[in-house]
Structure 1
Amino acid sequence: MATVNVYLTFNGECREAFEFYKSVFGGEFPYMGTFGEMPPQEGKELSQEDKDKIMHVTLPISKETVLMGSDTGGEWASNLKIGNNFSVSINADSKDEADKLFNGLSHGGQVTMPLADTFWGAYFGMLTDKFGINWMVNYDDPSKMQQHP
C-alpha cells in the first residue's frame, strides 16, 4: 500500500527552513540537491540564484514519516502562496498503483505534470484535485533508481 507524506514548497527559503526543521526533529538529510545539479535542459538556462535553490530535500521524522521539500522558481514562483505551498506526496508500491491513484485523484482536477519517468529514476507526476488539494504521485522503480552519496 502507498505511503503518504507532506511535501513543502518554498520560494528560496527551503534550505533555511529544513535546517530549522532538522534542529527541531533531529536526524540527517539522506538527500539535499540543488537545481544546479540537475542535468541541463535544452533551452532552459538557470540563473545562479535558481541554481542554488533546493530541487529536493528529504528529512526523516520517524520510521514511517518523511518531511520533503523544494524551492520553486521561474513561472511557478508567482503562483506560490501561503496555503498552497504544500502537497500530499504519495509513494506507490508499483507503477500500476501510481497510475490508479493519479488517474483517480486527477478526475475533475488539473494535471500539472503528467506521470512520466524522470531523470532521477522515479515514475512521477503532480496534480491539483477538484477540491484544490495539490498531490504528488511517485513510484521509485528499484531497477532505475540513482544512487545518491
Structure 2
Amino acid sequence: MTITDQPYFLALSGSTLDEITATWDRLSVGGTILEPLAASAWSAGFGMLTDQFGVTWVVDVAQ
C-alpha cells in the first residue's frame, strides 16, 4: 500500500484497462507516479499519482 502525505485525493474509475491507461498517460505527464498502474488483487488496473498541479489521483478499472 502506498502512503501519501496528501490530505485528500481524487478517485477515478474506468470500465476498461485501455480507457484507464489513456487517462493515466495524460495525468502522469509532468507528474509523479506513487504507485505504477498495474493489475492488483481487486482490479485489472490500479495506480496512484500526483499530477503536475499537485493533485493526487487514484485510478482503477471498475469490476
TM range (shorter): 0.7 to 0.9
Identify which of 26, 35, 39 aligns with 1:117: 39
TM-score by length of 2: 0.85
TM-score relative to the length of structure 1: 0.38
Code of the residue aligned with 1:98 in structure 2: it is I
Q: Please give the alpha-carbon distance, in whole angstroms, between the structure 1 residues aligned to 2:41 and 2:51.
A: 25
Q: Secondary structure at the match of 1:104?
A: helix
The 5 A counterparts of 1:78-117 are: 80=5, 84-117=6-39
1:56-85 CA distances to partner (integer Å, 9 max, x unpaired)? xxxxxxxxxxxxxxxx8xxx3xx52xxx22
Higher relative contact order, structure no. (Cα contacts within 8 Å, ≥ 6 residues apart)? 2
CA separation in 2, counterparts of 1:85 and 1:119?
26
Matched residue SS, 2:61: strand
The answer as to 2:53 corresponding to 1:131 is: yes
Structure 1 distance, partners of 2:31, 2:50, is 6
> Which residue does 1:16 correspond to in 2?
none
Which runs of at least 4 in structure 1 moved beyond 2 Å after TM superposition? none
State, as a whole percentage, how many aligned pairs show the same letter.
35
Pick the structure with more helix per residue.
Answer: 1
Structure 2 residue runs of 5 or longer lacking an equivalent are none
Match of 2:34, SS state, is strand
Count of residue pairs brought into register by the alignment: 62
